[in-house]
Chains A and B, each alone.
Chain A
Amino acid sequence: MSAFHVRRRRVAVVWRTLAAIALTVFFLFPIYWLFMISFKTAEEIFAFPPRWWPSRLQFDNYAVLFKDGDATTVWNSLVIASASTVLAMVLGTLCAYSLARFRTGGEHLSNWIISQRMVPPIAVVFPIFLIYVLFGWVDTYLGLILLYTAFNLPYVIWMMRGYILDIPISLEEAARVDGCTRWQVLWKVVFPMARAGLFATAILTFVFAWNEFLFALVLTRTEVTTYTVQVTHYFGGQSGFWAKISAMSVLGTLPIFVVVAFMQRYLVRGISLGAVKG
């Protein structure tokens, strides 16, 4: 390759790097801004012109949330998201195994299940609310856990069906020949083999439940308010609530960032409903 070509390629790399940096700034700045507000004092938040960073990191805005008990909404989110994830994973994986290996219900059942994922939440939340009023399930852990389980089940079934189909069937047949019962095959062959899939699906299911807003808005009042709803409680009041808005948002967002950092490689398959094999 001539010196000219090498030079041109180097220049192209420089341009691409600059473009990548510009994009990263655009996509990260809002997140940076949100995080920074949570560390600012009231004077810094409402300074004109705006301050681009706090003079020092101080955690008063968080302390207020813990003192007022608002921070317990993160705990509520954790309880609801965890419990519904466990439930959806257990029920969904068993169902997925049956669909994948025995073609239970044929194509129709699989199709019906994935179609449940497409129903807009606003359309179902209304009748569910009326039923919950009847049962006394509004503003209870049970109500939201069951709803998120139902909401995430089609996703879990769909994803796990894909992962289970990837496991060579000969392994299961061999285990059967060796005298394993059906359940033992599940425990000793299928689950261990599908471990990565189970892990990835569970994490994304958790993220969906953790970030959900509309169901929580309709079905919580004061007892089991999730952090997403709590953030909106500060809306419309005095702008003095900015500190709370940002600190609350960070408390809810940081755990997800940590989780995602560890599961980067599963993310693509998860969010593409399995269309991209990550």
Chain B
Amino acid sequence: MAEVLVVVEAGVKKVTLEMLTVARALGTPSAVVFGEADTAKLAEYGAEKIYVAAGADVEDYLVAPKATVVASLVKQVQPAAVLLGATQEGKEIAGRLAVKLDNGLLTDAVAVDADGTATQGIFAGSAVVKSKVTKGLPIITIRPNSTTPEAAPAAGTVEQLTVAVDDADKLTKVVERVAEKKGSRPELTEASIVVSGGRGVGSGDNFKLVEELADLLGGAVGASRAAVDSGFYPHQFQVGQTGKTVSPQLYVALGISGAIQHRAGMQTSKTIVAVNKDAEAPIFELADYGVVGDLFKVVPQAAEEIRKRK
């Protein structure tokens, strides 16, 4: 069976394990790693080979060298497909790769068939399409949380790559990488539970309520755009059309009205729960369970109740 290249992002994200799982339907998964990665984990989830490209030439510049590494690997091993995470970096590498290889690409797939047909949600998840790359090999970015990773131990043979990048790949230098507050919470797009707050939360300080409930449920924190624009919570946690798309098992919306642009980022969640004091709020149209009430009463009580049950 032909190899399927799975491009790994720093830290082996959950989407990486999902991709290794999806890749098995298309061929034999090989992971492509930049710098360091947990190779044991990659092997556990099915990476037969692990290609490692390391060094300043790939690690100190933005995206372009990584695309060059993947492109030369494609030419060398003639894989059946290339899978990348539907993350900012994954999409950027995919875009460059498609241009380099004059090849089609499909982004944000939630499923891939054995023949490379991808299923994608479009128009804010309100419709589903099946598409196929018709020129070249399937280059597909996979949306986090679209499959359950399944372990399937494989050899995980590490192969160091000799990195040969062009000068044009080294035009954008990464001078600094800064981590902002996050703590131990799961990554927003990968979390199986997301608790989001909206304008109704009222202030940045009050977001502690949202964080507390998220922590009790083991979930990530999200925010509506109104909450972000009001300065309650940082932009990287925004859910919606101009923020992240999440598809968790459980989405909890606190003080969020449910505007179409917010729905765009969360309506494919498995179960949706909402707390809103306005019984007519559109969020109730999609909530599996809704509480009409003041979140400042309902949320602390819920938190207390969960603590009791633990």
Query: Do A and B belong to a common assembly?
Result: no
